[in-house]
Amino acid sequence: MIKVDEGNVLLKPSHRKQLMSWLKRALRLGDRLGDFVLKLTLHRVGNCFEIRARVHDSAGDFACRSRQSDWQHAVRRLVRQLSARLHVQYVQRMAGISD
């Protein structure tokens, strides 16, 4: 499940759709782990966009953060971080099951 708090950033419907399409891989990995909740918070701070993500899943909780001058670059960087972290959790969980 994804919860998006846009804060003081106005997203058009097309931007929201783009955001969801970028999160597809992270969602699939989270579903494999189980009990997946992703909370995104978007804020504009001065000239920059700050995106924070809090993740809860069956393997544990973690947070990621990205800050860029363009909201799309910030979200893309955050999505890469999320996918990499979820992948590591998934691999560790699968290695623990096979032992």
- Provide the percentage of residues in the chain whose pLDDT is more than 90: 78
Look up the pTM and report it.
0.88
Q: Quick one: pLDDT at residue 7?
A: 86
- What's the total number of domains in the chain? 1
CATH number reported for the structural domain that contains residue 19 in this entry: 3.30.160.100
Which one-letter amino acid corresponds to residue 40?
L
Find the domain containing 15 and state its range. Answer: 2-98
Query: pLDDT in tens for each of the 99 residues of the chain?
Result: 899 998 898 889 999 999 999 999 999 999 999 899 999 999 999 999 999 999 999 888 999 999 999 999 999 999 999 999 999 999 998 888 765
